[in-house]
Amino acid sequence: MSGHVTPLYECDGVQGSEYARPARFPHQSRSVQLAKHGMVSTSHPLAAQAGLDILKAGGNAADAGVAASAMMGLVEPMSCGIGGDLFVIYWDNQSKKLTGLNASGRSPKKLTRDVFKQHNMSQIPLDGPLSWSVPGCVDGWEKLLARHGSLALNELLAPSINTAHEGFPVPEVIAGYWASAADALSKWTGSTQTFLPNGAPPTEGTLYRNLELAESYQQIANHGKLAFYDGAVADKIIAGNNEVGGYLSHNDLATHTSEWIDPVSTNYRGYDVWELPPNGQGIAVLEMLNIIEQHDVSAMGPKSVDWLHLFTEAKKLAFADRARFYADMSMADVPVEQLISKEYAKRQNQRIDRQHAATNVDPGDPLLSLGDTIYLTVVDKDDNCCSLIQSNFHGFGSKIAPPGTGFVMQNRGALFSLDENHPNALEPGKRPFHTIIPAMVTKDNKPWFCFGVMGGDMQPQGHVQVLVNMIDFDMNVQMAGDLARVCHVGSPTPTGLPTASGGGELLVEAGINDGTIRQLEQRGHQVKRAVGVFGGYQGILIDPETNVLHGATESRKDGAVVGF
């Protein structure tokens, strides 16, 4: 019958049809969330709500970002916490300027490569005190608030302190992360006491309290960063360090400082994409986009073999450069300007064979001579934007919680190279290579998109896929994150150690069909279906016409996006 729509379901007298969801995005997990006065997107509902409460109380994006970050350290302790590092890109709408904050810590001054030679180690172990570097999170909070915040730190930590005392129900995905680390945590006294109550990890739906973290937060609320770096919390960290034979000292903590830095960018099809320079890996995103921009991606289709092949080959080139050049720029010469230039991308693009997967990719010649994280984003009523990422590196970091602190120490030092000739070689007081990267996109000198994708080596790959989904394939902010992702593994790492040869593996989600996989294999890719390795996305877009906020959260996590 003309004009008739066949109902697909009926519930409480309301009929739904094939037109209930726009045909362009039939597999979108949820609607885009819309708000006018402010929005927060995180991987845990309690953290999103803590940030939103701060916005409603008159705080700005920096205030809400710190409040949400503190709550994440409590409710998702395997991924982040005050024993880890933090990076921020912040848009201040009054000055119309972007600023970057590198709140990553440095290696212990007493820890040298000779220590590892004495133990016949060719690699820094992932677990244990040899992987420690100074945690930068708390200093990062204070520096962010000093420049951009409007509320006091004690007010921002109060919700987390209360929740740590009262307890919170552990959600499904986080419970799974917790269970997978139980054996490793059980090897350390402080970790067992804090994170394995009654000898086991908390299961989904059970209440978990962390009174030790509540006390650490209270010390920081009362005394600021001094409590963490030269006070009561510092004393517990060093006592725990001495107990397990670590190399961290009171001086390492007391002399730590974060650094304000300038974000760097490239223009991708009219949009300025901003990342932070090394010691993080953000410029890999810019190099990949510069290569991809030379192709008519929109004509390929978001799940086509042509697009997935091009993406993977661009990633291999950028990650080969990452392995060769990325390091602490205060102690190594990193050719950032050349690596993210359009001219260099043209030369890199010529290395791509459109029909065959590359193997054993070498780094380029830019000078012509040569697991776990949380990401959150906040936009406030004045369009200030906070893109914040915070991490312990691997799940529960080094697996060691100094007794009485309520948090684990990160294992970020495991990403140093022990090759003395590598730019990322371990040196006393040096910042290691970092995987965590916040991002932002501006257009016409206005903030357009504040986003990130957590998840180790997946992060640059996730940034590129989300942006291409939005800019080339015209997807909304939620679908851009929901679409099936791919993740190439096997590129060399900045440790200087060899990795998988033969071009590595291309991991794909269920949304990539068998026919496409066969075509990728015909081009020489080693393809595997996988789950759980595709990162965690959060994003907020500011509509340039209406100024309405469009928010998205990762459907693969426990998260939430909330606004008002």
Inside any domain, residue 458: yes
Distance separating alpha carbons of residues 64 and 76, to the nearest angstrom: 17
Residue 425 domain-assigned? no
The CB density around residue 334, as the number of other CB atoms within 10 Å, is 19
Q: Judge whether 433 lies within some domain.
A: no
Active-site residue (options: 194, 312, 373, 493): 373
What whole-number percentage of the chain has pLDDT above 70? 93
216 and 360, same domain (yes or no): no
15 assigned to some structural domain? no
Query: Over the stretch 165-201, which tens digit does the pLDDT of each residue have?
Result: 999 999 999 999 999 999 999 999 999 999 999 999 9
Question: Contact 85/141 with Cβ under 8 angstroms?
Answer: no
In a domain? residue 70:
yes
Q: Which two tokens stand for residue 110?
A: 């007493």
Q: Is residue 349 over pLDDT 80?
A: yes
- On the question of pLDDT at 49 being above 60, the answer is yes
Taken as a whole, the chain contains a residue count of 564
- Please indicate, yes or no, whether residues 474 and 409 belong to a single structural domain of this protein: no
Together in a domain, 486 and 504: yes
SS3 content of the chain, % helix, strand, coil (to 5): 35, 20, 45
- When pLDDT is cut at 50, 70 and 90, the band that residue 1 belongs to is very low
Q: Report CA-CA distances (Å) from 404 to 60, 130, 226.
A: 33, 21, 18
- Indicate whether 350 pLDDT > 70: yes
Q: What is the pLDDT of residue 545?
A: 96
Mean pLDDT of 484-495: 89
For 132, the token pair is 């420690």
Look up the CATH number of the domain holding residue 501: 1.10.246.130
Q: Give the span between the Cα atoms of 245 and 251, in whole angstroms.
A: 17
Residue from 424, 451, 448 nearest 439 by CA: 451
Range 281-310 average pLDDT: 97
Query: Token digits for 385?
Result: 């934007």
What is the per-residue pLDDT for 24?
63
Question: Poorest-confidence range of 309-313, 370-374, 528-532?
Answer: 370-374
Six token digits for residue 274: 């901003």
329 to 6, 203, 225: CA distances (angstroms): 62, 43, 25
Q: Which two tokens stand for residue 9?
A: 């379901």
Segment 87-108 mean pLDDT: 98
268 and 252 belong to one structural domain: no
399-423 per-position pLDDT tens digit: 999 999 999 999 999 999 999 999 9
Report the run of H or E that residue 314 belongs to, with start and end: helix 305-325
pLDDT in the model for residue 461: 97
Are 191 and 246 members of one domain? yes
CA dist 137 and 556 (Å) reads 26
Indicate whether 90 belongs to any domain: yes
Mean per-residue pLDDT of the chain:
92
Given a cut of 60, is residue 444 above it in pLDDT?
yes
Average pLDDT estimate for 462-488 = 97
Instruction: Give the CB-side neighbour count of residue 81, counting CA atoms within 13 A.
Output: 29
Closest C-alpha to 122, from 361, 501, 465, 417: 417
pLDDT at 360: 80
- Collect all residues with Cβ–Cβ distance below 8 Å to 169 and sequence separation of at least 6: 205, 206, 207, 208
Q: If we measure between CA atoms, which residue out of 343, 410, 513, 492 comes closest to residue 103?
A: 410
Burial degree of 355 (CB within 10 A; 0-12, 13-18, 19+): exposed
> What percent of the chain has a predicted confidence (pLDDT) above 90?
89
256 and 269 share one domain: no
If asked whether residues 117 and 62 sit together in one domain, one would say yes
538 and 464 within one domain = yes
DSSP 404: T
Closest CA to 426 of 331, 336, 324: 331
Whole domain around residue 286: which residue ranges? 264-370+453-542
Q: Which residues contact 26 (CB under 8 A, 6 or more apart)?
A: none
- 476 and 360, same structural domain? yes
Mean pLDDT across 95-124: 97
CA separation for the pair 81, 372 (Å, rounded):
11
Q: Which are the contacts of 91, defined by CB distance < 8 A and separation ≥ 6?
A: 97, 98, 383, 384, 385, 440, 442, 447, 450
- Annotation says 373 is catalytic: yes
Residues 463 and 532 in one domain: yes
Residue 498 confidence (pLDDT) above 80: no
28 assigned to some structural domain? no
Distance CA 306, CA 304 (A): 5
Query: In terms of domains, do 241 and 96 share one?
Result: yes
Helix axes 153-166, 61-75, angle to 10 degrees: 30
Alpha helices in 57-199 (DSSP H): 61-75, 113-118, 137-148, 153-166, 172-180, 182-185, 189-195
- One-letter identity of residue 467: L
Number of domains composing the chain: 2
**Mean pLDDT for the stretch of residues 262-275:** 98
Residue 436 covered by a domain = no
Beta strand 446-454 with 439-443: parallel, antiparallel or unpaired? antiparallel
What is the structure's pLDDT at 331? 94
Whether 501 shows a pLDDT value over 80: the answer reads: no
Residue 192: what pLDDT?
98
User: Cα 278 to the chain's mean position, in Å?
Assistant: 14
189 and 329 fall within a common domain? no
Q: How far apart are the first and last CA of the chain?
A: 43
pLDDT-derived band at 366, boundaries 50, 70, 90 = low
